[in-house]
Amino acid sequence: MASALFTRSGGRPAGRRTFGKTAGRAAALLAAVALTLTACSTGPARSTATDDPTQPVSIAFPVTVKHLFGETTIKEQPKRVVTVSWVNDDVAIALGVVPVGVPKNEWGGNDKGSTPWKDAALAKLGAGFGSAKAPAQFSEADGINFTEIARLNPDLILGAYSGLTEEDYKKLSEIAPVVAQPEIAYGTSWQDSTAIIGKALGKEAEAAKLVADTEATIKDKVSKYPQIAGTSFIYGNLEPDKSDGVNVYTANDNRPRFLSEIGMKLASVVEENSKGSKEFFIPWSAEKANELNSDIFVTWVPDAATTGSIKADPLLGQIPAIKSGALVADSNNTLTLSISASSPLSLPWSLDTFLPQLAAAADKVTAAK
């Protein structure tokens, strides 16, 4: 990506389409939600389900899933699932399915190439990294890793949250049935990703319960910070060392979507300038930074020094929220990833750290009025 986003398949903050591929390619971003549900594994199928009749019942196969490139029919219960991009592995694992292969978290991850929320959920399934039942990991630093995926001999490839191109889709389909994104690249909400993947895995009821449980957790946490409600925001990326150092995320992106879902309001300047857009961000001239009017401005920064540089920048420093002290700038890559590539596992993990930051900024807004 150019200057403001993340490489969405495991990379680092970069530029305009960072989330599609890491380190050089474009495009998209606890408590683990524990469900005692049927599990598919990297080895022989195993189940964590009980005989409790109140447990959700998995659906019968075949199932057909519609997506951007048509539709995919999955004839029988998948046994060897591989995921691409971000989010898809989180959802499968949260539903009790351990993929045979997942991309490394090469940006925002830990020394295992994973995340704390994924590690916790895999541990509950007895499949933590380092164990015999752990997923194989492959790099997406240069885009979709067709070679490694083929070696894993999958019977289903999940990319409900991704930026798959038609060419990517066709190549992957030669390996196994593929569930691609429903419409906009990296624009699938975590709720829709969960529903789509749940259907593909024969776990629609479990997916609906997972969404409801996660939303209830979020609602409970947010209720402790009433000052957030109604506060206007812009979620963007600020890079004071670049002349084009402003990008603003649209309502198509999961970051603004999450803030809107917890009761905040996307700034009208973003809504007006992104009407009809199918992109997850819009570039913004630094010379017009003063027009980015909102109560709070949220951005990622590589370090604390960059926060100071943003505030001191003669153009970026004119953003109203920055002038009023309501800048939320976090240099924790893992926290940023948890919101950017939000999932039923990452969001609950992030809340105890992220919500207080938003609340502190909201308090400054109130104090300034």
Q: Can you tell me which residue has the tokens 């010379």?
A: 287
User: Which CATH architecture group holds 222-368?
Assistant: 3-Layer(aba) Sandwich (3.40)
Q: Where are the domains of the chain?
A: 38-220, 222-368
What secondary structure does DSSP assign to 210-255, as a single string?
HHHHHHHHHHHHHTT-GGGTT-EEEEEEE-TTSTT-EEEE-TTSHH
Residue 22 has pLDDT above 80, yes or no: no
pLDDT at residue 340 in the model: 93
| % of the chain surpassing 90 pLDDT | 78
pLDDT at residue 43 in the model: 33
pLDDT at residue 147 in the model: 98
What separation in angstroms does the CA of 311 have from each of 308, 327, 361?
Answer: 5, 9, 15
- Looking at domain 38-220, its CATH class is alpha beta
pLDDT at residue 241 in the model: 74
Domain 38-220 matches domain 222-368 at the CATH topology level:
yes
State the chain's mean pLDDT as an integer. Answer: 86
Q: Under DSSP, is residue 49 helix (H, G, I), strand (E, B) or coil?
A: coil
pLDDT at residue 244 in the model: 66
pLDDT in tens, 224-263: 999 999 999 999 999 887 766 799 999 999 999 999 999 9
Tokens of 229: 């409600």
Measured N-to-C along each axis, helices 346-368 and 116-124 cross at an angle, to the nearest 10 degrees, of 140
pLDDT at residue 58 in the model: 53
pLDDT in tens, 59-118: 689 999 999 999 999 999 999 999 999 999 999 999 999 999 999 999 999 999 999 999
User: 172 with 146: CB under 8 angstroms?
Assistant: yes
Angstrom distance (rounded) from CA 29 to CA 33: 19
